[in-house]
Structure formats: structure tokens, C-alpha cells
Amino acid sequence: MSSPTHIFQENGSSRFPLIDNLRSFEDQIRFTLTQMDGSSFWALSLWRAPEGANLRASLPHSENYIQCAGDAAGVTVEVRSINTFGAGHQYTVGKPGSPPSSEPTETIRWDSGRHSTRVFANEVFTLDEAADLFISYYRDDRVPADYTLREINGV
């Protein structure tokens, strides 16, 4: 078993280290994410633990992460990062290609429909597509360069 280096957070509250005792890290990411049902499990975040962190003692938060919310009908994926000046920026991730020029038209719902957000059509992901993004983020601490990032103001 490898030493955990990443932390999952489910539904904004339950945190646990990413472990590979039953599945590889990548398989664990895919398995966990594809269990999202929109009611009992509707959101997942992933971030790298600080260097040298003892994850048996505590599960620290990070300002750099990937997260998604939704269900099997579609999820929205966001990434947050801190720039070299210490300012945080949060982005909605879009599929490769040109983003639409009109207003967002798609609604993603989670927490049994109690919460929702509007996104562009290229920003709606299946659970498998979101898992691919999480796996890329796990490996490189970023989403692949060909995806679009739309900054979310006021976050």
C-alpha cells in the first residue's frame, strides 16, 4: 500500500485520505466519483496534502483543489488555485473547444435539488468524464491544458 498524499472531502464535510489498499489511487478516484447520486452523495473535492503531513493525525484543508457537484445526469467541475501573489482564483472547467458566447443555459442540481448552478453546455460532465479530470488533477495538480477555465467572480 502506498502512502496517502491526497485528501477527499465528500458533501463538503466528511474528509478522508485517498488510499489504495483495495484499488489503485486512480481506480479509487473513479469508483468514488461514479457513486455520486445527487441526494446522499452529491459533491466531491480532492487536494494534495502538504508535504510531510501526518494524515493519521489530521486531514488539513488546502486552497488548491478540484471539486464537482451533481449526479449521474451531469456534474459541474471547478478548480481553485492560489497564484504567485497569494490570491485565490476559482474556475468552472469546460470541455476542450471554444466556450459558448451566450449566457449559461444548463442547470446542475445537487443535494436532492436544494442547490443548483447554471453552466454552459460545454461545462456539463458525466461522472466518468469528471473522474478523468480528477485523475489528471491527482497526477499533475491541474486539469489538462486543452480544457477551458472560466473564472468564477466573487468566490
- Residue 21 — pLDDT band, cuts 50, 70, 90? confident
**Distance between CA 93 and CA 152 in Å, rounded?**
10
If you average pLDDT over residues 55-72, what whole number do you get?
84
Residue 55 pLDDT level (bands cut at 50, 70, 90)? low
pLDDT in the model for residue 114: 94
Return all residues near 3 (Cβ < 8 A) that are at least 6 apart: none
- Neighbouring C-alpha atoms within 13 Å toward the C-beta of 101: 0
Name the strand (E) or helix (H) holding 17: strand 14-17
Mean pLDDT taken over the chain: 88
pLDDT score of 1 more than 70: no
